[in-house]
Amino acid sequence: MSAPSSTSAPRLLDQVRAAIRLRHYSSKTEEACISWIKRFILFHGKRHPREMGEAEVTAFLSDLAVARGSSASTQNQALSAVLFLYSAVLGRQLPWMNTIVRAQRPVRLPVVLSRSEVSAVLARLHGPVWIMASLMYGAGLRLQECVELRVKDLNFDRRELVVRDGKGGKDRVTMLPDRLRRPLEDHLRVMKAQHADDLAAGCGGVALPGDLRSKYPNAPFEWPWQWVFRATRHYVDAVSGEKRRHHLHESVVQRAVKEAARVAGIARPATCHTLRHSFATHLLESGYDIRTIQELLGHRDVSTTMIYTHVLNQGGRGVRSPLDQGGHGGRE
């Protein structure tokens, strides 16, 4: 029996990672895809996906839906990962892949806070977390878009900020609220001094998207590429071995906003994304055009933005109840 060749094909999951990175998908997408493919393989007793097909994929998805009660979005995420494995990695364009029906996500109205409720939440936040929550409400940012802001994405002269590689891999421009100009400038002065200290200590680099590091070797250490909202601790990159500083973790902001809403006495499930929903609804209330709001939010289809018109139409599409129109006797 001959020894295995040193040029043997890479392991399956390494092939998946390579295919994802070739398409410049986000690290979170890579992490989720790898996780679902692992679960799919383990579900079928570690059989190689080449040996499986429609029946095995259907059984896996059915187990998620029936036995585990997973949501439609979870089922669709799992399906997308498995289909990516077969089409992009294994090169198998099987006829049954086009006939699998994706689970329908229920249409739910977003939770929206009133202006006074937003003010109550923001009043209970402080420091960088207050700035981040204010940006999610004042500029319509998603949480991930907010934590991944870099210094170069802020343009104070034009009063705008650029969202890089947002949902769907798109860039977009949105407003930079005047009220945040001074707090952001003060915050960046502190961060720039911290960055100078990091450089002096030999740990002033950050991760760059895609292959920018090879094109611009010095960029990770330059001020424009630094995170606006920096983590309090350093980490060691597993690939390069460099000591770096990441952006503030999403969970820090999520916990702070949730606690602020609780202390403010808001009975509805207010989250970071609730601030973005409130941004869109309050712009509609102010009379701004739905297409403008669609562009600011980064929605691919205006039908996604239209859901805020349903929130705006208070109680039965804005119709006034006959009970409230007077002329009725009696009392409680």
Contacts of residue 10, Cβ cutoff 8 Å, sequence gap at least 6: 18
Paired with 244 in beta bridges are 205, 235
Alpha carbons 12 and 95: distance in angstroms, whole number: 23
Decide if 44 is catalytic.
no
Instruction: Report which secondary-structure segment, H or E, holds 245.
Output: strand 243-247
> Rounded distance, CA 226 to CA 219, Å?
9
Q: Is-catalytic flag, 164?
A: no
137 is catalytic: no
Residue 112 near residue 85, CB atoms below 8 Å: no
Q: Closest Cα partner for 81 from 118, 43, 115?
A: 43
Active site residue 142: yes
Cβ 111 vs Cβ 266: under 8 Å: no
> Tokens for 179?
């009220």
CB 96 within 8 A of CB 87: no
Residues 212-223: b if buried by 16+ CB within 10 A, e if exposed = eeeeeeeebebe
Which residue of the set 187, 245, 282, 299 is catalytic? Answer: 299
Choice among 142, 187, 230, 247 that is catalytic: 142
DSSP 8-state symbol, 144: H
Catalytic residue among 167, 172, 243, 246: 167
DSSP string, 111-175: P---HHHHHHHHTT--HHHHHHHHHHHHS---HHHHHT-BGGGEETTTTEEEE-S-GGG--EEEE
**Residue 273 annotated among the catalytic residues of the structure:** yes
- Write out the H or E segment, with its range, that includes residue 148: none
The H-or-E segment that residue 172 falls in is strand 172-175
Amino acid in the structure at residue 172: R
**Active-site residue (options: 187, 230, 276, 282):** 276
Q: Residues with catalytic annotation? A: 142, 167, 273, 276, 299, 308
